[in-house]
Chains A and B, each alone.
Chain A
Amino acid sequence: MTRVRVNGEEAEIGAGTIAELLVARGIDPGARFLAVAVNGAVVRRAEWPEAALAAGDEVEIVRPLQGG
């Protein structure tokens, strides 16, 4: 297991890549309008299947919402 932070919360993940993390969270990596950053840098969608997560990584998973 790897300890990371996902959207500000501590998480123990078995997943190795961003795509695997999304699936483990019940999020379809193919869903449109998602974006992911790791340690303050955006990881492009095409890289999700390969991008490995390491202990201590800070992951942000976002989508657009209503706004002004």
Chain B
Amino acid sequence: MSDPLLIAGTALNSRLFLGTAGYPNQQVMLDALEASGAELATMSIRRISLDGYSGSLVDLLGDRVRLLPNTSGCVTARDAILTAELAREALETDWVKLELIGDRETLYPDVEQLVPAADELVRKGFVVLPYCNDDPVTCQKLADVGCAAVMPLGSLIGSGRGLANPAAIELICARSPVPVVLDAGIGTASDAALAMELGCDAVMVNTAIARSHDPRRMAAAMRAAVEAGRLARLAGRIPERLFAEPSSPQLGLVGS
């Protein structure tokens, strides 16, 4: 069943975005990428070691997936915008996962800076996917300035605590005019499935795969979970009921 996700006119057949950091080694990361089926992988932009430069992960990843550079670690709009521009130059992509961090302990987004920074990047021709709060108003403002998708957090980055506020995520999904990509906090496969069931268009996972005991297997689990959650969403869940509703026929019971 073809069910592509469209972001800025680009069709992605996988609804799982993969982060590339924190794996035991590069081969495990590449194997996990393969197992995940992801077609989009995130990267950071960092200062080069002044001792020299040899080879690059991009050589290995670039042919397999679309790369989504991030502005992780940036705490000012100025640095985030420059990082996005450097990423565009380095990777020849207009796509950027905009992260603007307001607090180093929680890595919560700095919404006050985020919206105008997203606006400026959109005006500069970027396809902006902002990491943001699980707040419908913020998500609406980001869509209004032209973001191609919104990436609300499920819970804190790297916390593995799943969806802290499923009702908020569901509300965002119900109202968002642009795709919603659940970002941050996924701990295990059921979290990813829940996000998709609530109406998310895709799920972004890094730590839950990279730091699992077996990243290859967890990547496969996340793939299955995202697909299952998406199918369940499309199929439509039954309403919850307070009392039992027999599933077997009630006529012709033995002894009746």
Q: A34-B90, A67-B70 are in contact. Are A6 and B50 (CB under 8 A)?
A: yes
Nearest CB on B from A66, distance (A): 4
Judged by a CB distance under 8 angstroms, whether A7 is at the interface is yes
Chain B residues touching A, majority SS = mixed
Residues of chain A within 8 A (CB-CB) of B59 are 32
Bound Cα distance from A44 to B88, whole angstroms:
10
Q: Are B19 and A65 in contact (CB under 8 A)?
A: no
Judged by a CB distance under 8 angstroms, whether B7 is at the interface is no
The stretch among B41-49, B115-123, B216-224, B246-254 that forms the contact with chain A is B41-49
Judged by a CB distance under 8 angstroms, whether B21 is at the interface is yes
The stretch among B78-86, B139-147, B192-200, B226-234 that forms the contact with chain A is B78-86
Judged by a CB distance under 8 angstroms, whether A55 is at the interface is no
Q: A28-B53, A35-B87, A42-B89 are in contact. Are A66 and B82 (CB under 8 A)?
A: no
Q: Are A26 and B89 in contact (CB under 8 A)?
A: no
How many chain B residues touch the partner (CB < 8 A)? 39
In residues 44-87 of chain B, which contact A (Cβ within 8 Å)? 44-48, 50-53, 56-59, 67, 69-70, 72, 78, 82-83, 85-87
Q: A7-B48, A32-B58, A33-B58 are in contact. Are A65 and B43 (CB under 8 A)?
A: yes
Q: Which residues from chain B sit less than 8 Å from chain A, CB to CB?
A: 19-23, 29, 42-48, 50-53, 56-59, 67, 69-70, 72, 78, 82-83, 85-91, 157-158, 206-207
* Contacts beyond the supplied A36-B89, A68-B19: 9 A-B pairs with Cβ under 8 Å: A7-B47, A7-B48, A33-B90, A40-B78, A45-B89, A62-B45, A64-B69, A65-B43, A66-B43
